[in-house]
Amino acid sequence: MSGASLPEGALAFLELMRRRYACKRFDGRPLEPGLEDYLLECGRLSPSSFGLEPWLFRSVSDRARIGGPLYEACFRQEAVGSASLVVAILVRRAQAYDPDGDFVASRAGRFPGGHPVFRADYIGYYGFLAGEGRLEAWSRAQAYLACANMLSGAAAAGLDSCPIEGFDEAALLAALGEDGGQWLVGLVAAFGRGDEERREKIRESLSSIARRG
Ligand SMILES: Cc1cc2nc3c(=O)[nH]c(=O)nc-3n(C[C@H](O)[C@H](O)[C@H](O)COP(=O)(O)O)c2cc1C
């Protein structure tokens, strides 16, 4: 893709997308002030199904915890153990999505028409997901967009990152001190500055993975 006629912002964004890669070893040095909040804000501004924002971003910058319990819970992956910041994107368990429950009511109350209008719109899809046994798969899926935005945001801030799916969920929740009866781990992201050779991207051509019309 040449991108010759694209707006400047799009070209800059494409360049970031090209630069971002899954970093496997970080230098572990603390991030500059403000960067942790910035990455969390990239998550907060992410879209979520029905605007429910079902997540809790559990960030840890303490090197002893990262290199100890978090590293262990993520199958001793160096990308986690060497990171300057680890963010586990937790999402709610199925029971939270009950159309008449407290969580949905409180999120719904922020929108025009409040809970009654929201509920009328939501209940059909909720019933479909519940009937298919897909509520928790749907819940976990929300974490991926928030994570993607954090990864792109990190690239824009000159940081390296790695999305991490290799974790023992129960061990990770225990390491974070969070209740496994309430929370699932959607995805984990590790951030910092790479301490390795940047790897070239390996990608299929656009014509082989996209079909137009
Ligand atoms: C959902 C997801 C989970 C991933 N989990 C891991 C992981 O546990 N450990 C790891 O080293 N890389 C993990 N990766 C990184 C991928 O291996 C990497 O993004 C892919 O090989 C493409 O390389 P690139 O991102 O450097 O272009 C994960 C990526 C995604 C999208």
pLDDT surpassing 70 at residue 3: no
Q: Measure the CA–CA gap between 187 and 191, rounded to whole angstroms.
A: 13
List domains and CATH numbers for the chain. Answer: 22-94+138-209 (3.40.109.10)
Ligand 1 atom with minimal separation from the 187 CA: 1
Ligand 1 atom with minimal separation from the 24 CA: 11
Percent of the chain with pLDDT over 70: 99
Instruction: For ligand 1, say whether the CB of 77 is within 6 Å of any of its atoms.
Output: yes
User: What residue owns the CA closest to ligand 1's atom 16?
Assistant: 22
Q: Measure the CA–CA gap between 140 and 8, rounded to whole angstroms.
A: 34
CA–centroid distance, residue 193 to ligand 1 (Å): 17
Band (pLDDT 50/70/90 cuts) for residue 205 is: very high
Q: CB count, 10 Å around CB of 204?
A: 8
CA–centroid distance, residue 162 to ligand 1 (Å): 6
For residue range 122-162, list pLDDT tens digits in order: 999 999 999 999 999 999 999 999 999 999 999 999 999 99
How much is the average pLDDT of 71-79?
A: 98
Length of the chain: 213
- pLDDT confidence of residue 36: 98
One-letter identity of residue 155: A
H or E element: which one contains 119? Answer: helix 114-131
How much is the average pLDDT of 170-198?
A: 98
Is-contact 185 45, C-beta < 8 A? no
- pLDDT confidence of residue 66: 98
Q: Reduced to 3 states, what is the DSSP secondary structure of residue 89?
A: strand
What's the whole-model pTM score? 0.97
Which of 3-7, 18-22, 41-45 is predicted with the least confidence, judged by mean pLDDT? Answer: 3-7
pLDDT surpassing 80 at residue 1: no
- pLDDT confidence of residue 79: 98
How much is the average pLDDT of 198-203?
A: 93
Token pair 């960067």 is found at 35
Q: Measure the CA–CA gap between 161 and 153, rounded to whole angstroms.
A: 10
Instruction: For ligand 1, say whether the CB of 22 is within 6 Å of any of its atoms.
Output: yes
Q: Measure the CA–CA gap between 184 and 46, rounded to whole angstroms.
A: 18
